[in-house]
A and B are shown apart, each in its own frame.
Chain A
Amino acid sequence: MRWGEEKMIEDLNEKDEGFIVSASPHIRKDISVEKIMYLVILALMPTTVAGIYFFGYHALSIIILSVLSALITEFLILKVRKKEFRMDGSAIITGLLLALVLPPTVPWWVPVVGAVFAIAIGKQVFGGLGQNIFNPALVGRAFLMACWPVLLTTWIVPFGGADAITAATPLGALKLEHITTPSIQLFLGNVGGCIGETSAIAILIGASILLTLKIIDWRIPLSYIGTVFLLMFFLGQDPIFHVLAGGLMLGAFFMATDYVTGPITRWGRVIFGIGAGVFVVVFRLWGGMPGGVCYSILLMNAFTPLIDRYVKPSPLGWGKKERKIAEGSK
């Protein structure tokens, strides 16, 4: 043997060379839960700013109180549960969304109670982020609606200030007084209603960010709004009015699209949207209250596990044809 040859064939396999070993893939997309959450918050900013613009500083204080209460509740509960608290932005979204679906006239303690309930009962009881069945912000609103219905249905006209005259929402006006609000006013948001749901254009600006970045699936808002539009059209109502009025826009783009409480498959999401749309139409036309977006989404949240269980795409190479042949050859 030549010099050095022993070294060449020596068993070097066991030697640790310090290379990292991990399973593939070795590259990951530059995305994280935090990034998604903060992008959603960014997308909600036009709506938030529009709400403050129309309804003044009281709206701002409602938003701040709601977000802070949500964050503090999340922090405390996680502390009790001995889990690590992460500023992943999910509690901020819950607080923000809750504030956006409250009327601008509610006293300061309403958003606080709502946010605490939303985080504690709507989210943490189920096990925290990713485990809840119902959209936490809507759980909070449903709770407030059940306890203080009068406070939650007292509306003011925009630019009214603290002691403004009360006014009906466009949907309420239609239902109770048969007055139709012009669509352009609804589109811009210069009407009575919840802090965040009056301005369709602000919602669309934010939603376009999320749709472009593919953070939310276009199938849910399209099937949701599309169902309401078509059903209202065939039932002889003004479909454009019904799409723009009330909380439908905000609900379709920011609440029905909540990952945790919606179906996971493409067709499941379409079914979710259609179902929610049908509920909205039923509540608006035959229900006791003018709105219905909140309850339509909560109801469909309850259907989500069922949809996920039965709506699954067939794997590649195992469609109807292949199954039939496999059964035939048995």
Chain B
Amino acid sequence: MGDPRYYNNKSHKDDEATGGMMNRAKKFFWNWNIVSKGVSLPDYKITEYTPIETINIPDIVVIHLQQHIGAPNETIVKVGEEVKVGQKIGDSKSFVSAPVHASISGTVLAIKKEIHPSLGRGSTAILIRSDGKDQWVKGEKIRDLSEKTKEDLIKIIREAGVVGLGGAAFPTSVKLSPPDKIDTLIINGCECEPYITADHRSMLENGERIIKGAEIFMNILGAERTIIAIEANKPDAIAKMEDLVDKFGMEKMSISKLKTRYPQGFEKMLIKTVLNREVPLKVTGRPGLPANVGVVVQNVGTAKAAYDAVYEGKPLVERVLTVTGGVKEPKNLLIRVGTRFSSLIEACGGFRDEPGKMIMGGPMMGLCQINPITSTIKGTNCLLVLGKETVKEEEETLCIRCGSCVEVCPVNLIPTDLARYARNRRFDLCEENYIGACMGCGACSYVCPSKIPLAQLIGWAKDEVGRRKND
């Protein structure tokens, strides 16, 4: 059960506070503690009731070799080669990596530097032109999980290029080989950022696959139970998932309804809310992992991708994302990885007003894009367009020490102090005040009445502290 030193509970039944006055009081206290931190954001979930729509196969896709956290891939195809959907075109020998696959069938047009949506600079990518036939590579389909060993299943998931689809794109196979014993698997269906509804729609429309995918993870990890965490602003998804858990007779699975709060969908926050366990900041000098407290968190989209890989033999070449904000018809789309943003915007009827910002991801943590020619990667869960009128640069004023940032910081830091140290380049003070605990959720910047770019300053100082340590 992870490293038992990190939580005192004798058995996992204790920490769920199922009954009794003491347990109820305990549960109330930690709920209050967690809910009193963070922010409640406006919802803007305009595509909540829009069913997922499959868009036409694009003429051209751009498959970036680096779509995950870890070692970059190397090309294993040549320019001019014919490829089929699902054919592996980039791989790496490194443990922490995930291969990439052709998402359309056709010819390799070029291997060149293309702008990367999250690295923000040119990065090697494989361009494929469609032949319009959409021919798939036939993969091995598994009927029953008992056919395969754990190691085989992990290998299938790795070979299918499955990464965390919540946004960070951490290779799933690595997460499924934890250093400690796991007792709980949490399936993350929080989707706590405004605007994004991709996971919500996936739960409603692909619920069966998510449950089956979670079962695969549970089998691999040997977890005793699975908790599907969904925020209260998605009552239909909660009902649907509850029905499905009953229907499949998944005894070890349960649904946890959480209060809507940002940034609850973050791994560490979710573990704190659902189980009241704290992922240690440092474990023998390295950053702590959820596995240290016996937990693995997987996104609902990742569970679906694992289902596709194992039961259907389909590598990760398509995903659901939300295109929303300043487009004519905001939609949830099922897209091929590598589709350019311009095609997505076209599929949604084009820009509504003059666009001001084009953001990959949600409004709280998303990254600004400079060119619609940029292509999607596996971790792209949302494309948000903000109109020119809504994007106003607000003038920064002096800190009045109101404490709003301290009040909301989910990891108990003092953002205004850290930002001041960062401005003065006092990285030693930043480190002393645990800047490494910052998850970059941006809640401090959101609430600041003086409009100080706290998250930006802290993020920069955090990188700088890390860089200096490595030097």
Interface residue tally on B, bucketed by range: 35 or more
Interface size on A, residues (CB 8 A): 52
Which residue from B60, B368, B398, B447 sits with its C-beta under 8 Å from A129?
A: B398
Kindly state whether residue A260 has any CB partner on chain B within 8 Å.
yes
User: Across the interface, which residues of B come within 8 angstroms of A36, CB to CB?
Assistant: 400, 402, 449
**Is A29 in contact with B359, judged by CB distance below 8 angstroms?**
no
Kindly state whether residue A235 has any CB partner on chain B within 8 Å.
no
The docked-state distance in angstroms from the alpha carbon of A13 to that of B120 is 11
Kindly state whether residue B407 has any CB partner on chain A within 8 Å.
yes
**Is B357 in contact with A19, judged by CB distance below 8 angstroms?**
yes
**Is A266 in contact with B5, judged by CB distance below 8 angstroms?**
no
**Is B412 in contact with A315, judged by CB distance below 8 angstroms?**
yes
A121 to chain B, nearest CB (A): 19
B5 to chain A, nearest CB (A): 5
Kindly state whether residue B268 has any CB partner on chain A within 8 Å.
yes
User: Across the interface, which residues of B come within 8 angstroms of A259, CB to CB?
Assistant: 400-403
A284 to chain B, nearest CB (A): 29
**Is B278 in contact with A25, judged by CB distance below 8 angstroms?**
no
A7 to chain B, nearest CB (A): 11
Q: Which residue of A lies closest to B355 (CB)?
A: A19
**Is B122 in contact with A315, judged by CB distance below 8 angstroms?**
no
User: Across the interface, which residues of B come within 8 angstroms of A315, CB to CB?
Assistant: 281, 411-413, 434, 437
Q: A9-B127, A313-B412 are in contact. Are A29 and B447 (CB under 8 A)?
A: yes
A182 to chain B, nearest CB (A): 38
CB interface residues, B 152-181, toward A, < 8 Å: none
**Is B403 in contact with A26, judged by CB distance below 8 angstroms?**
no
**Is A13 in contact with B455, judged by CB distance below 8 angstroms?**
no
Kindly state whether residue A163 has any CB partner on chain B within 8 Å.
no
User: Across the interface, which residues of B come within 8 angstroms of A266, CB to CB?
Assistant: 406-407
Which residue from B122, B280, B412 sits with its C-beta under 8 Å from A325?
A: B280
**Is A5 in contact with B268, judged by CB distance below 8 angstroms?**
no
Kindly state whether residue B239 has any CB partner on chain A within 8 Å.
no
User: Across the interface, which residues of B come within 8 angstroms of A22, CB to CB?
Assistant: 357, 368, 393
**Is A325 in contact with B6, judged by CB distance below 8 angstroms?**
yes
Which residue from B282, B355, B449 sits with its C-beta under 8 Å from A35?
A: B449
A268 to chain B, nearest CB (A): 9
**Is B370 in contact with A24, judged by CB distance below 8 angstroms?**
no
The docked-state distance in angstroms from the alpha carbon of A29 to that of B282 is 33
Q: A35-B449, A130-B401 are in contact. Are A24 and B442 (CB under 8 A)?
A: yes
**Is A20 in contact with B356, judged by CB distance below 8 angstroms?**
yes
User: Across the interface, which residues of A come within 8 angstroms of B410, CB to CB?
Assistant: 316
The docked-state distance in angstroms from the alpha carbon of A53 to that of B288 is 62
**Is B398 in contact with A130, judged by CB distance below 8 angstroms?**
yes
Quick one: CB contact mask for A1-36 with B, threshold 8 Å, 1 for yes?
Answer: 000010011011101110111111111110111011
Quick one: CB contact mask for B356-383 with A, threshold 8 Å, 1 for yes?
Answer: 1111010111111111110000000000
User: Across the interface, which residues of B come within 8 angstroms of A9, CB to CB?
Assistant: 60, 109-110, 112, 127
Among A22, A88, A130, A315, residue most surrounded by chain B Cβ atoms (within 10 Å): A315
Kindly state whether residue B446 has any CB partner on chain A within 8 Å.
yes
The docked-state distance in angstroms from the alpha carbon of A15 to that of B400 is 41
Additional A-B contact list (15), CB under 8 Å, known A264-B401, A315-B437, A317-B437: A13-B113, A19-B356, A19-B357, A24-B455, A27-B363, A217-B407, A262-B401, A264-B417, A266-B406, A315-B281, A316-B281, A316-B411, A319-B278, A322-B278, A326-B283
Could you tell me which B residues sit within 8 Å of A by CB distance? 5-6, 8, 39, 41-42, 59-60, 109-110, 112-115, 122, 127, 129, 194, 268, 272, 278-284, 288, 355-359, 361, 363-373, 384, 386, 391, 393-394, 397-403, 406-407, 410-414, 416-417, 433-434, 437, 442, 445-451, 453, 455-456, 459
- A to B CB contacts below 8 Å, 21 in the list: A9-B127, A19-B355, A19-B370, A23-B453, A24-B361, A24-B455, A25-B445, A26-B357, A36-B449, A129-B398, A130-B400, A130-B401, A131-B398, A259-B403, A312-B414, A314-B412, A315-B411, A316-B281, A318-B437, A322-B6, A325-B5
